[in-house]
Amino acid sequence: MSEYNNKADVLLGLQWGDEGKGKVVDVLTPKYNVIARFQGGPNAGHTLEFDNKKIILHTIPSGIFHNNVTNLIGNGVVIDPVIFREEINSLNKEMSSISLLISKKSHLILPSHRLLDAVYERNKGNNKIGSTLKGIGPAYTDKAARVGIRTGSIVEPDFRDKYESLKQLHFRQASAFGYDDKFEVGGVDFCEYEKLWFDSLGMLSDMQLVNSEVFINRSLQNGNSVLAEGAQGTLLDIDFGSYPYVTSSNTVTAGACIGLGLAPTKIGEVFGIFKAYCTRVGGGPFPTELFGEKGDELRNKGKEFGSTTGRPRRCGWLDLPALKYAVMLNGVKKLIMTKADVLNSFESIKICTHYEIDNKKIELIPYNMDTKNLKPVYKTLKGWKKSLETVDSLEQSPEELKDYVKFIEDYIELPVWLISTGPDRKQIIQR
C-alpha cells in the first residue's frame, strides 16, 4: 500500500501486455479497499489462479474475488455488454455477491465497432496490427470524435436513436472500405449478434453506474486505499508504444489519471510488472524475438498462448533498454518480475543490454523508431537449473536467480520487490 496517505497506487505492465498483472493484482488486493481499471477493455485477458481454479477476466478488475473490496471500472474503459455479461455470469457461479461499480462515463463497444475493427484490419493486409478484434480501436476513435455512446446513456430515452445513428455511420464507413457483403461479427451474423448485445445491456444497466471520479477521490479523502490496475502494457501505449502497432489507449501511469479522474498529485506507488523474458502477441517490432526451436521452447514452457484470443505469443529474451524506457515513462518505484519459473530448466539465459545500429551503441530506445536494423547485444547469464517450487524468499533462491535479479536491478536502478514463481496466488516471493 502507498506509504503516502490519500494517494492511489498503480500497477501496470512494462512490456507488450500479459506480464501477469491479473495474478499480482489478486495477490495484492488484501492490502487495498478499491481496485480500479482505468483503460482498455475486453482486449485484456487477466488470469487468476487459486484453489485449483483458473479464471480469465476481461473487463472486470482483478480484485473481484476478495471480500471487503470495491471493484471499479473507470471512465477510461470501453465495455462490450456481451462480454461483460458473460464475465458476470461466470463470476456468479463462483461468488455469492460481488462488489462492482461502473463509471457512467465509460464508453460502450457496439457490434458495429467490432465490425469496423475487422474491416480496418483486413484493409491493412500484411501491415495489420494483429488487433484482438474486440472493437477497441473504433470505440476509442468514436470517443475522440465525440460521437461515442457512454454507459450512462443506456438508461436515457434517446439511447436507441443514438445507437441507430452511430450504427448507420459505421455501416457507411464499412461500405467505404468496399465491405458490402453480409455483415458479421466474430463469425456471427450481425443481426444475431446485435440481438445478443441488446439482451446483454440489462446486466450492465442493473449495475451501480456512478461518477467514478467522485467515488475514487472521496474514497481517498476518507482514507481508503486504492490500486489502479493497468491493462495491456507500456510498449502498446498509443503515444509511446511501437506505433502504429499499439492499442488505442494510454497504458502508462498518466492513463490512470485520465481514466479515473485522479490528479497527478494523487498517484502514490507505481508498481511496474515485467516477465523474466518478453512476449508479444500481434504485429510490430520485437528486437529480442526468438524464432524456431528457441522461441518454441519459451512458448511451450511459459504456456504463451493469448488469454483473450488463444493466439501463440511471440517470445524472446528480456529487453533491458525497453524496460528502462518503460520505467522512465511510468515513474516506476518498484519492480515486479513474473514467470521466473519458466526459465528453471535453461542452461543459460540471455538478457539484452543494448542495441547496435551501424556500429553505434543505443541504450535507451524510443519505441517508435525503426527497429528493423537494430541488433540486440546480449549478456549471457548462467541458468539456475532448479525448481522454485519450495522457494519463498530471495535469500533461499538459487545463486543464479539472485544474480539474474541483481543484474536487472543494477541496470534499471530499482529494486525488484516481488518475484512470481508460478500462476497460483500462493506462488510469490516477497522481498
Please work out the total of residues on this chain that contact Mg ion, with binding judged by CB under 5 A: 3
Residue 11 or 102: which CB sits closer to ligand GDP?
11
Q: What H or E segment, with its residue span, contains residue 337?
A: strand 334-338
Of the candidate residues 18, 26, 80, 237, the single one contacting Mg ion (CB under 5 A): 18
Residue environment code for 45-59, b if the CB has 16+ CB neighbours within 10 A, otherwise e:
bbbbbeeeeebebbb
Decide: is 307 part of the binding site for Mg ion (CB under 5 A): yes
Amino acid at 238: I
Residue in the block written with cell 553505434: 360
Q: How far is the CB of 22 from ligand GDP (least distance, A)?
A: 3
Residues that bind ligand GDP (CB under 6 A): 13, 17-23, 44-47, 49, 307, 338-339, 341-342, 420-423
Residue 223 or 310: which CB sits closer to Mg ion?
310
Q: What residue 76 binds from Mg ion, ligand GDP, ligand IMO, none (CB within 5 to 8 A, per partner kind)?
A: none
Residue environment code for 5-34, b if the CB has 16+ CB neighbours within 10 A, otherwise e:
ebbbbbbbbbbbbbbbbbbbbbbbbeebbb
Q: Which of 227, 302, 226, 228 is nearest to 18 (CA)?
A: 302
Considering only the stretches 15-23, 210-218, 256-264, 333-341, report the one whose residues sit in contact with Mg ion under the rule CB under 5 A. 15-23
Q: How far is the CB of 379 from ligand IMO (least distance, A)?
A: 27
Q: What residue 80 binds from ligand GDP, ligand IMO, Mg ion, none (CB within 5 to 8 A, per partner kind)?
A: none
Burial status of residue 265 (CB atoms within 10 A of its CB: 0-12, 13-18, 19 or more): exposed
Q: Is 18 considered catalytic here?
A: yes
Residue 248 or 307: which CB sits closer to Mg ion?
307
Residue 9 or 400: which CB sits closer to ligand IMO?
9
Alpha-carbon dihedral 413, 244, 136, 424, rounded to 10 degrees: -30
Residues that bind ligand IMO (CB under 6 A): 13, 16-18, 40, 43-46, 129-132, 134, 136-137, 231-233, 236, 247, 281-282, 307
> Which residue number places its CB atom closest to ligand IMO?
282
Q: How far is the CB of 149 from ligand GDP (least distance, A)?
A: 27
Catalytic residue (choose from 9, 46, 113, 117): 46
Decide: is 229 part of the binding site for Mg ion (CB under 5 A): no
Q: What residue 227 binds from ligand GDP, Mg ion, ligand IMO, none (CB within 5 to 8 A, per partner kind)?
A: none
Phi, psi (degrees; rounded to nearest 5) at 391: -85, 125
What are the C-alpha distances in Å from 130 to residues 193, 218, 247, 296? 22, 40, 10, 20
Residue 179 or 346: which CB sits closer to ligand IMO?
179
Amino acid at 118: A
Q: How far is the CB of 419 from ligand GDP (least distance, A)?
A: 8
Residue 12 or 260: which CB sits closer to ligand GDP?
12
Q: Which of 190, 165, 208 is nearest to 82 (CA)?
A: 190
Please give the Cα distance from 83 to 167 (Å, whole number).
19
Please give the Cα distance from 157 to 118 (Å, whole number).
31
Q: How far is the CB of 130 from ligand IMO (least distance, A)?
A: 4
Q: Is 410 considered catalytic here?
A: no
Handedness of CA 179, 187, 245, 259 (dihedral sign): positive
Q: Which of 134, 149, 369, 152 is nearest to 242 (CA)?
A: 369
Of the candidate residues 40, 41, 45, 284, the single one contacting Mg ion (CB under 5 A): 45
Catalytic residue (choose from 18, 142, 237, 341): 18
Per 3-state DSSP, the chain is made up of helix, strand and coil in percentages (nearest 5) of 35, 25, 40
Q: What residue 23 binds from ligand GDP, ligand IMO, Mg ion, none (CB within 5 to 8 A, per partner kind)?
A: ligand GDP
Q: What residue 423 binds from ligand IMO, ligand GDP, Mg ion, none (CB within 5 to 8 A, per partner kind)?
A: ligand GDP
* 274 bridge partner residues: 337
Please give the Cα distance from 224 to 36 (Å, whole number).
13
Cell of 42: 475486453
Q: What residue 420 binds from ligand GDP, ligand IMO, Mg ion, none (CB within 5 to 8 A, per partner kind)?
A: ligand GDP
Q: Rule CB under 5 A: which residues touch Mg ion?
A: 18, 45, 307
Q: Which residues are the active-site residues? A: 18, 46
